[in-house]
Structure 1
Amino acid sequence: MVTGFGNEKLRLGSYKLMLDGAGGGGSAAMREAYPGKPGEFGILYHTREELDRLVLNGHRAGYQVGIHAIGDRAVEMTLKSYAKALAQFPRQDCRHRIEHCGFLDGPLMAQMKEMGVVAALGLPFLYELGDSYIKVFGRERLQCVYPLRSLLERGIVAGLSSDAPVIDPNPLTGIYFAVTRKTPTGETIAPHEAVSVRQAIRAYTLHGAYASFEENIKGSLEPGKLADLVVLSEDILKIPPERILGLRVDLTMVEGVVEYERNA
């Protein structure tokens, strides 16, 4: 059994590895020391050799590999391991992923584009924990955090996710932050990485489906695809971004069958 085994309701996903810690907790593996903490660069759960071996094992077995990497040092290690695995055992359309993919620069994004690596961004983290990120990193270091706009402009598939149950799975939270880059206290983080509502929805739907090899059956409403959809209380494309969090789900449909109706 490898990635893709199963059906529309239950299937085997990626081969997941945990490489570093968390940004808000000061344990994401960074290239530069944490501000005010000389010698502290975060934590790594695997050595380079261990990661290379684990990635190659999953890659050769036919799995899609997904690695939790928040800090830029962890992202760099991940990409090097992916490159080594692909060089040793070439495979087409692997869609290996970086889960969270928190801190990126141009060269790292270029490597992702070249290898077809998918970014699975946990933007709701910055909505709920953004104030702690500011405290830990300072605003300057956060100019390249969860750079959704930059990834999309480079043609990299970037899907949005929640990492539930760690963070509230409500996608409206992620859409709101993707568009406003604001935390609940009104703090703004890397506003130049904001995207449109339509782009945020696409990242949650079509990009999310692509990230799990399901773009032929999910991610958009087209003939032949599963009719999985929600109906919101207002048109999310027409209301001011500040009202997104107040939207309610009026109806949920799964495979064309109404499974939830708020006023029923």
Structure 2
Amino acid sequence: DRGMRYSLHNDSPVVPSDCRMLLWSAVNRRTRSGKVLGEEHRISAEEALRGITIDAAYQHFEDDIKGSIEAGKLADLVITEQDPVRIPPDELRNLTIAETIKRGETIFQA
């Protein structure tokens, strides 16, 4: 609400590095037992994607080289089969990864 930029991240290796779970957690704010934790802190999928991408790069002073799809930036991205902004929030942790690109090279393709 204050226009502050924040990032979403996890404490690997304590928990597996899985951006789908970060996205799901930020949007749903649900614990493993199903309780909603801090409902007023839920954010949209689009806001969560910013927290994983451009705002995370900003926090690390790297938004000039990564975090968004622009000419001249590192081409590190994941392509999903579903649009995370348009699917039901509960389905976010089950996004199907179609392709992963690192520095402009495909490193995974379904």
Aligned-partner Cα distance in 2 for 1:231–1:253: 8
- Equivalent positions of 1:67-216 (< 5 A) are 153-216=1-64
Helix, strand or coil for the counterpart of 2:78?
A: strand
Residues 138-162 of structure 1 show CA distances to partners (whole Å, capped at 9, x for unaligned) of xxxxxxxxxxxxxxx2232211111
Helix, strand or coil for the counterpart of 1:159?
A: coil
Query: What does residue 259 of structure 1 align with?
Result: 107
Number of residue pairs the alignment of both structures matches: 110
**Identity level (%):** 35
- RMSD of the alignment, in Å? 1.1
Q: Structure 1 stretches of 5 or more lacking a match? A: 1-152
Q: Structure 2 stretches of 5 or more lacking a match? A: none
Helix, strand or coil for the counterpart of 1:174?
A: helix
Instruction: State the 1:176 CA deviation.
Output: 0.7
Does 2:95 correspond to 1:247? yes
Query: What does residue 78 of structure 2 align with?
Result: 230
Aligned-partner Cα distance in 1 for 2:24–2:91: 9
**Structure with greater proportional helix content:** 1
Runs of 4+ off more than 6 Å: none
Aligned-partner Cα distance in 1 for 2:69–2:34: 35
Q: Which amino acid is the alignment partner of residue 240 of structure 1?
A: P
Query: What does residue 140 of structure 1 align with?
Result: none
Aligned-partner Cα distance in 2 for 1:231–1:185: 30
Q: Which amino acid is the alignment partner of residue 64 of structure 2?
A: N
Q: Which has the larger radius of gyration?
A: 1
Q: Which amino acid is the alignment partner of residue 205 of structure 1?
A: T
